[in-house]
Amino acid sequence: MTVCLWRLSTDSGWQTGQTVQLDEEDLNGDGSDWLFDQLIDWSAEPKADHYRRYFDLPADPDHAALHAIMEGAPITADLVHRLNPHIDLAIVTEEAAISGIPVSF
């Protein structure tokens, strides 16, 4: 997600780009709830639901494993396989290194 707001010293208010059209079920006021929900609600349940829908998973990922990772626990092979038993651990290691996330396997 990318958001861009700006305000020049001569502006009387914040400026934005072109408005994005949201589906009716996503509308809540100005759409900011929809836009920022994943950033504001830092708990495993909504994240699991989002990942299940986004990646078209048959069921929610393991909430306890997801919560442990969200809390900064070192990523272990067990945690990874509880979220995705088919993932290549080399890919996880590479992505974690890019993000600066500690791995322990």
The pLDDT score that the predictor gives to residue 89 is 95
- What total number of domains does the chain contain? 1
Confidence band of 20 (pLDDT split at 50, 70, 90): low
Domain that holds residue 76: 21-104
CA–CA separation, 89 and 7 (whole Å): 44
Supply the pTM of this predicted model: 0.57
Query: Within a domain: residue 15?
Result: no
User: Does 2 reside within a domain?
Assistant: no
Q: 29's torsion region: left (phi>0), alpha (psi -120 to 50) or beta?
A: left
Please say if the pLDDT value at position 104 is more than 60. yes
Q: Give per-residue pLDDT as tens, 83-95.
A: 888 899 999 999 9
